[in-house]
Structure 1
Amino acid sequence: MDALTVPEYNLLPVYAAGPAIGPVRLGASYVSASRATRVGGDLYMAVPSPYGVRLVIADVQGKGLGTIRCAAVVPAAFRESGPEAEELAEVGSRIESALNRSTDGQRFVNGILAQIGPAGQFLAFNHGHPAPLLRTADGGIRFVEPDEPVPPFGLTGPAGSGNPRNSVTRLTLQPGDRLFLYTDGLSGARDGDGRFYPVDERAGPLLGESTPEEALRHVHADVAAFTGAQPDDDSALLLVEFAPRAVP
């Protein structure tokens, strides 16, 4: 991770083998479109809990100081509730409540709230966010599309989404499987002809490289080669490997 561009609340615990929590190894990266600031509207965080490793990655819609303030509310609420809430949906409810209390109500947050259990049980709520990309240990690549997306944080109540607990996405990860979570600064990157970066076709094969952090370095290099320009939007990347026997 580039210490010059990673906001403080995005830092992950680091061990000798790299960032790791419980049964997962992690690679993470944050790139700001503005060289003048190290904090933008994209964020990620991972915390341990009695129920598994919990993750959030999100993108606050909008610009300016209000966006940065909103981007700080989400990880603060996640840090407080993620380690202790019995159900993942409760974590989402607390994030929603924190946004309602602390912001002007004019911004919403696209994000994914996820949990990986000790046996590889993955469950997630997709709040209007780009679908994660799964690279299995045998090289298979596919998007993990939600059966029923949940409205973005900040819009769950007004949108009348019903009970988000009914919209959870589930799958079982095998040792060596990797999940790639990213904000739309990556999927929205364009080349000189206006074509969007094909995440599955180009990033997918690179996700198996060495460590998760090394794989993300290859992805960044590939995006730069594809666009041929400096990024015009912030991007947060999180690569999670289920490695129950490799992480102390």
Structure 2
Amino acid sequence: MVIVLVDLLTGAGLPWLPLMAAGPALAATTNGPRGVLCVGLFAAALCAALSTVSTVPGREPVAALCAVLAVTAASGLASELRGRRERVLAAVRSVAEAAQHALLKPVPETVGPFQVAVRYSAAAAEARIGGDLYALVPTPHGIRLIVGDVRGKGLPAVGTAALVLGVFREAAYDEPDLLAVVGRIERSLARNLGPDDFVTAVVVGCPRPGELEVVNCGHAPPLLISAAGDVEPVEPVRPAPPLGLRALSGEHPELHLLPFSNGDQILLYTDGVTEARDHEREFYPLAEGVARHVSEEPARTLAAVHADLLAHVGGRLHDDAALLLLRQSAGEPAGGEAREAGGAPDAGRDVAPARRGTSTAAATCPGGR
């Protein structure tokens, strides 16, 4: 209509007629073939009307009209191909979302005497899973949680994450000993990963009231948050290698016992959080952020910390990032069911503090049945 108005005002005639092809070309970006055809025929009719009103001589109007019809046909074909690609993409996205939900199942807000919250951000655009992973499994031995960080990104990392989650969910239900769960994941990764691949891990459990077990396999130290709001990293005394690399070092992970009373919380996270940088290349101070935003509701705490993290990096993370917060609610004592189902740790196991490293975190807590 703009072209018609300009043509009538200037009386230029022919120079404006080929621009009618812009109508069907633009229509192809948002409409289907039928819409493109309607716009093209309308543009062709306007082109013929303008050539009659302007009394353009010769074959020029016919050439302009043919150009509009040709662009209409090409645009209709492009619109049909675009529609097919969108349908295929929609089907692929539905399959991907189903796979993502199967791998990263939703975590309940309360499990027994515990409150749980999770925040996950994948670095890949429009993805919901990447190299980081988490899971919560109710078992006869109490609930068990895992948070992990796979070396690398993209589809290979997703495949390794799926492998870890599958083995963890099976072993967490079968093995009463948390170290045995970690051992089964280690053996599976040793068989299936390449020589340069690994998964970092920290494992946490609640074997008895007021006590927390931590096994760290190369992950950044969890943050223990007291009921008073004090935040302290759970530093390992004896480092252990990431999962998949134990055969190279010969080192084995050890168990570390921590006090865990009513109102205490433990935060498991991956290096995508602590290594997030701002425009001045400064790392995100996670412990300080948690201390500022800690509350009695884990979901509210993680929402505030996640918003603070995005503000620190300028709105977009460039690495996968996972946060899992577990809080002991006041009331039911922690560890009661763990004692009934799995008992206390074997007397022969070593007890040592948890350790820093690369990242898969698993936690075992009672009250899951």
TM-score range relative to shorter protein = 0.7 to 0.9
Structure showing greater Rg: 2
Aligned counterpart, 2:122: 32
Pairing partner for 1:230 from 316, 319, 326: 316
Q: Is the 8 A contact 1:189 1:227 kept in 2?
A: yes
Q: Which amino acid aligns with 2:199?
A: V
Deviation at 1:83, TM superposition (A): 2.0
Aligned-partner Cα distance in 1 for 2:248–2:178: 21
Structure 1 residues 39-78: aligned runs within 5 Å: 39-78=129-168
Aligned-partner Cα distance in 2 for 1:75–1:53: 15
Structure 1 residues 130-169: aligned runs within 5 Å: 130-161=220-251, 163-164=252-253, 167-169=254-256
Unmatched 5+ stretches in structure 1: none
Aligned counterpart, 1:179: 266
Aligned-partner Cα distance in 2 for 1:10–1:37: 12
Pairing partner for 1:242 from 305, 320, 328: 328
Pairing partner for 1:196 from 272, 283, 305: 283
Does the residue aligned with 2:267 lie in a helix, a strand or coil?
strand
Does the residue aligned with 2:246 lie in a helix, a strand or coil?
coil
Deviation at 1:99, TM superposition (A): 1.2
Aligned counterpart, 1:11: 105
Aligned-partner Cα distance in 2 for 1:83–1:190: 38
Deviation at 1:196, TM superposition (A): 0.5
Aligned counterpart, 1:221: 307
Deviation at 1:242, TM superposition (A): 1.0
Moved over 3 A (4+): 49-52
148-157 vs 33-42, greater mean Cα deviation: 33-42
Q: Is the 8 A contact 2:231 2:290 kept in 1?
A: no
Deviation at 1:65, TM superposition (A): 2.3
Aligned-partner Cα distance in 2 for 1:24–1:105: 38
TM-score (norm 1): 0.88
Aligned counterpart, 2:191: 101
Deviation at 1:13, TM superposition (A): 4.5
Deviation at 1:7, TM superposition (A): 4.7
Q: Is the 8 A contact 1:58 1:110 kept in 2?
A: yes
Higher normalized helix content (fraction of residues): 2
Aligned-partner Cα distance in 2 for 1:63–1:33: 9
Q: Is the 8 A contact 1:45 1:75 kept in 2?
A: yes
Unmatched 5+ stretches in structure 2: 1-96, 333-366
Tell me whether 1:79 sits opposite 2:79 in the alignment. no
TM-score (norm 2): 0.60
Aligned counterpart, 1:116: 206
Distance 1:138 1:27, change over 3 A: same
Aligned-partner Cα distance in 2 for 1:190–1:13: 28
Aligned counterpart, 1:129: 219
Distance 1:181 1:243, change over 3 A: same
| 1:140-169: CA deviation from partner (whole Å, max 9, x where unpaired) | 1111111212100010121111x42xx222
Does the residue aligned with 2:294 lie in a helix, a strand or coil?
helix
Aligned-partner Cα distance in 2 for 1:7–1:128: 27
Distance 1:120 1:44, change over 3 A: farther
* Cα RMSD for the two superposed structures: 2.1
| 1:113-137: CA deviation from partner (whole Å, max 9, x where unpaired) | 2212351321111111111111111
Higher normalized strand content (fraction of residues): 1
